[in-house]
Amino acid sequence: MEKLMITGGRPLQGTVSISGAKNSAIALIPATILADSEVVLDNLPLLSDVAVFADILEELGAKVTREGSQMRIDPTQIKSIPMPNGSVKKLRASYYMMGALLGKFKEATIGLPGGCNFEPRPIDQHIKGFEALGATVTNEHGSIHLYAKELRGAKIYLDVSSVGATINIMLAASRAKGSTIIENAAKEPEIIDVATLLNSMGAVIKGAGTETIRIEGVSELHGCRHSIIPDRIQAGTYMIAAAATRGDVVIDNVIPKHMEAMTAKLLEMGVRIEELDESIRVIGCSNYEAVDVKALVYPGFPTDLQSPMTSLLTQADGVSVLSDFVYSSRFKHVPELVRMGAKIRVEGRSAIIEGSRLNAAKVKATDLRAGAALVIAGLTVEEGITEVSGVEFIDRGYDFLVENFRRLGADIWRETE
C-alpha cells in the first residue's frame, strides 16, 4: 500500500495536460465487445480502472494490446463466460459488461459491481432497461444473470437520468431488433462519446446528449478507430487545485464547454479565468467569496467535483453551502478534512463550510474524489507534512497525479506504507 506525502503552501504554476476521460474509457472498452473486428481507442488514460477492464476483456478471450495512450482490442474470439467474481468486483463500471454481452450474445452472468461505494448505488434502472428490451434478469448469489431469446426495441423512461443505465441500454439496444427510445436519458458528455464510438462501429444512435435518445438496432457492428474526449473531472480537479493554492495554471487539452458549471463557480468566488479553444487558465488570488454549490446532473455542477470543491471552499471567506442532489450522502471526505482543521458540518445532503486555515494531518481517502479533495487540502497547508493514505482509490481516476503536481511546483511524493 502507498500513501501520498505533501508539503503544501506553494502556489501551483505552469501547464498541465489532461488525459482521456475515465468515465468514457471504461464504457468504450466494453462497447468494443459488440464489434466483429479490431477497435482502436486513442487518448486512453493510464488508470487502474482501465487496466482492470483490459484484464476483463482478455479473460473473455479478446486480444488487447496497449502502447502508451492507445489500446487495440480484437474482440473476435470473445465468449460470454460467466464472471461472478474477480476483476468485475474491482470496479463500478463492470456493469457495462451486462449491456455489451447481452447485446452481442443475448446472455451474460456478471457479479455485482464494486468500485467506490460512498453510498448505496442501485442498478434498478439498468435492469428495467434490459427487461424492457426482452431480457430475463435474475440475481443469483450476488451475480446478475441476463438472458434473452431475442432483444426487441422498446420505449424506456428512466426514473432517474442515470449515466450508467443510459449507456448500458444504448449498448444492448444497438443490437436489438427495431427501435429503442430512451426518455429522461442522462446528458453527460461521456454518453455522447459512447454514442460516437457505437455509430462509428455502424450503430444508428441519434439524440445522445439530449434527454431523448433513439437507437435503431442493427444486426452487426464493425471495428473502427476512436479518440476519447478529455477528462472533465480531472480538468476540474486541477482548476480547483490552482485556485486553492492561489496559483496560476493553464489546464490544457480540455473542452471548455464541458467545464462551464465549474468555471462559473470559480468566477463567482473571485478566481480569474481565461478560456482558449482547448485550454483554460486559472489565476488564483488572496481572497475568495463564499458561494453555494449544487451538484446536479450535467450540465449542472458535477457530483464528482463536489468533494474537491469542498476543499477549495475551506479557503473562502465566510460560509458556503455545498449540496449534492445526485448522491445525498457523498461526504466521506468531510471527517478527514475536519481532522485537518476544516470547519464543516453535514446537514442532510449539504455540507456547511466555514472558511478556515487547514493544518497537516494523517488522513485517509476512502473513495476516489475524497482522495482528490484531501490532496488539494494538503496542497494548501503551509506547515508540516500531510499524509494521504488510500492512494489506490486516487489511482482509479488520476494518472500521473504526482508527476503533474510536481511539474506545477508542488512538493508531493509517494511512500510505501
Ligand X SMILES: C=C(OP(=O)(O)O)C(=O)O
Minimum gap (Å) between residue 361 Cβ and ligand UD1:
26
124 contributes a contact to ligand UD1 by CB under 6 A: yes
**How many of the other CB atoms lie within 10 Å of CB of 202?**
17
Q: With respect to ligand UD1, which residue has the nearer C-beta, 93 or 205? A: 93
Q: How far is CA 286 from CA 4, 307, 393, in A?
A: 26, 22, 31
Active-site position among 26, 91, 116, 233: 116
HSE-up (13 A, CA, CB side) for residue 98: 35
Which one of residues 52, 56, 97, 368 is an interface residue with ligand X (CB under 6 A)?
368
197 contributes a contact to ligand UD1 by CB under 6 A: no
**285 is a catalytic site residue:** no
11 is in an annotated binding site: no
| Residue type (1 letter), 328 | S
3-state secondary structure (DSSP) of residue 85: coil
Residue 129 CA to residue 126 CA, distance in Å, equals: 5
The single residue listed with the C-alpha cell 488510500 is: 390
CA dihedral (376, 263, 160, 346) positive or negative: positive
HSE-up (13 A, CA, CB side) for residue 64: 22
369 contact choice in ligand X, ligand UD1, none (CB below 5 to 8 Å, kind-dependent): ligand X
Task: Give the angle subtended at the CA of 257 by the CAs of 208 and 95, to the nearest 5°.
Answer: 45
Per-residue contact flags (x/-) with ligand UD1 for residues 21 to 50, judged by CB under 6 A: --x--x------------------------
Per-residue contact flags (x/-) with ligand X for residues 112 to 151, judged by CB under 6 A: ---xx-----------------------------------
Strand order in 385-389's β-sheet?
A: 362-364, 385-389, 2-7, 411-416
126 contact choice in ligand UD1, ligand X, none (CB below 5 to 8 Å, kind-dependent): ligand UD1
Residue 10 CA to residue 117 CA, distance in Å, equals: 33
Q: Which helix (H) or strand (E) holds 193?
A: helix 189-200
Minimum gap (Å) between residue 202 Cβ and ligand UD1:
24
308 contributes a contact to ligand X by CB under 6 A: no
Give the residue from 186, 189, 215 showing the smallest Cα distance to 203.
215
122 is in an annotated binding site: yes
Q: With respect to ligand UD1, which residue has the nearer C-beta, 304 or 395? A: 304
121 is in an annotated binding site: yes
**How many of the other CB atoms lie within 10 Å of CB of 383?**
10
165 contributes a contact to ligand UD1 by CB under 6 A: yes
Number of residues binding to ligand UD1, judged by CB under 6 A: 20
Minimum gap (Å) between residue 288 Cβ and ligand UD1:
25
Minimum gap (Å) between residue 365 Cβ and ligand X:
12
42 is in an annotated binding site: no
92 is in an annotated binding site: yes
The alpha helices in 201-259, defined as continuous H runs, are 232-244
Binding part of the chain for ligand UD1, among 61-69, 123-131, 137-145, 338-346 by CB under 6 A, reads: 123-131
Which cell is 34 given?
459488440
326 contributes a contact to ligand UD1 by CB under 6 A: yes
Minimum gap (Å) between residue 390 Cβ and ligand X:
14
3-state secondary structure (DSSP) of residue 42: strand
285-304: contacts with ligand X (CB under 6 A): 304
Strand segments (E) across 52-126:
63-67, 70-74, 107-111
* Those residues with Cβ within 8 angstroms of residue 51's Cβ, 6 or more apart along the chain or in another chain: none
Residue ranges for the known binding site for phosphoenolpyruvate are 22-23
Residue ranges for the known binding site for UDP-N-acetyl-alpha-D-glucosamine are 92, 121-125, 304, 326
Q: Which residues are catalytic?
A: 116
What is the binding site for ligand X (CB under 6 A)?
92-93, 115-116, 304, 368-369, 397
